[in-house]
Copies of this chain bind each other. A is one copy, B any other.
Amino acid sequence: MSITITKIAELTGVSKSTAHRALSGASDISETMRQKILDCARSHNYQPNLSARVLVGAKTWLLALYGLDFGNVHFAQFLRGASRVADAAGYHLLTVSSSDKMNHLRHLGIEGVAAFFGSSSEIAGLYNLQIPMVRLIKQNPNGDEAAVSSGVRYGAALLVRYLLEKGHRRIGHLSVSQPDDMNVPEKLAGYQNALADAGVPYRPELVVSVDFYTERCGYEGARKLLSLPEPPTVIFAQSDILATGAYRAARELGLRIPEDISIAGYDDKEYAALLFPALTTVRTPYQQLGAYTMECLIAEIENRPRPSGTPLLPVLAERSSVADINLNPETENEKPCIQPLVR
């Protein structure tokens, strides 16, 4: 089938040991011989058999990225950044989508695994592989040195600080009751921290928790918030898809966005800028996070210390779905009118 080192040795009239010396860049070989073997290997497009190298425990330069939700744009960005770093360091990155598959693949010589958003049980399965692993999201709050944080708490606080600067004081929060997802309490914590820092009291009735990340749930949650005796002036949804539901709820109640009710999301999905009005949200630099995660993984494999410095933090994607109610006298006047509108 394919050309082997034995074939190269035969063609050049040497032993496979010598051929291996030439191809591996060893020093104990004459320069003329090395050139002859290298030329022969190049002309036959020789590539060492990876499986044979795995068998003798040689370096395979194989890494795996584990993540289940392909189709997620964030995953794709993460992959792009990780792939770039892996390529630059000479590694090959393959992506696998289930942990039992990883289990069957551990004999293929994969040197390390990067995980993107795995649930705790799957992460445990990966740990059993006894392979270096770095994963993105902080799963358990108690210290996990193998994790790289995506900074959701910071991102949520960033957005809420922005809302406070825009004059909002009654900030509704659309949360999700997914026990597995560590992002939920992290975002809530960011929300609470930002309020506390500004001296704004936390009101539990302004936090509504829905079941799923769907447009419908966002709609229902927003209806609840808007029917409060004292409705919020802005709704901060934990994800853009929830925010789209809030858009529909506002439209149904005859509320203009952002004049009557401001809405903000999280994720900066591709459709966030397409909505009308364009949604203000938070973008996580997943590509840079992927690059950083891969740098950590490769450093661990090669027994080097982790790169210094922290990965990039989320940034605000400021658009037109949040109103400034600070120095706008007419909005100030309209504010009491919101209540009767919502009933």
Taking beta carbons and an 8 Å cutoff, which residues of A are in contact with B?
A: 2, 47-52, 54-55, 69-77, 79, 83, 92-98, 101, 103-109, 215, 244, 251, 269-271, 273-276
Expressed in whole angstroms, the minimum distance between the Cβ of A261 and any Cβ of chain B is: 16
Contact B70 A75 (CB under 8 A): yes
| A-B contact list, 24 entries, CB within 8 Å | A2-B106, A47-B104, A47-B107, A50-B104, A50-B105, A50-B107, A50-B108, A51-B54, A51-B55, A51-B107, A51-B108, A70-B71, A70-B76, A70-B79, A79-B97, A92-B101, A93-B101, A94-B94, A94-B105, A95-B97, A215-B274, A270-B271, A271-B271, A271-B274
Known pairs A2-B106, A49-B107, A51-B107; list 12 more (Cβ under 8 Å): A2-B107, A50-B107, A51-B55, A70-B75, A70-B79, A71-B72, A72-B76, A79-B97, A94-B96, A94-B101, A270-B271, A271-B271
3 smallest CB-CB distances across A and B, nearest first, come from A71-B76, A271-B271, A51-B54
User: How distant is the Cα of A305 from the Cα of B36 in the complex, in angstroms?
Assistant: 47
User: How distant is the Cα of A83 from the Cα of B101 in the complex, in angstroms?
Assistant: 11
Expressed in whole angstroms, the minimum distance between the Cβ of A102 and any Cβ of chain B is: 10
Contacts of A2 in B (CB 8 A): 106-107
Chain B residue with Cβ nearest A130: B1
Contacts of A70 in B (CB 8 A): 70-71, 75-76, 79, 95
Contacts of A71 in B (CB 8 A): 70-77, 79
Expressed in whole angstroms, the minimum distance between the Cβ of A101 and any Cβ of chain B is: 5
Chain B residue with Cβ nearest A275: B274
Expressed in whole angstroms, the minimum distance between the Cβ of A16 and any Cβ of chain B is: 15
Contacts of A49 in B (CB 8 A): 55, 107
Contacts of A251 in B (CB 8 A): 276
User: How distant is the Cα of A74 from the Cα of B70 in the complex, in angstroms?
Assistant: 10
Contact A76 B69 (CB under 8 A): yes
User: How distant is the Cα of A63 from the Cα of B83 in the complex, in angstroms?
Assistant: 21
Expressed in whole angstroms, the minimum distance between the Cβ of A327 and any Cβ of chain B is: 29
User: How distant is the Cα of A98 from the Cα of B107 in the complex, in angstroms?
Assistant: 22
A97-B75 CB under 8 A given contacts A107-B2, A244-B274, A274-B244: no
Chain B residue with Cβ nearest A76: B71
Expressed in whole angstroms, the minimum distance between the Cβ of A51 and any Cβ of chain B is: 4
Expressed in whole angstroms, the minimum distance between the Cβ of A283 and any Cβ of chain B is: 15
Chain B residue with Cβ nearest A1: B130
Chain B residue with Cβ nearest A128: B45
Contact B107 A83 (CB under 8 A): no
Most buried by B among A52, A94, A276: A94
User: How distant is the Cα of A46 from the Cα of B41 in the complex, in angstroms?
Assistant: 38
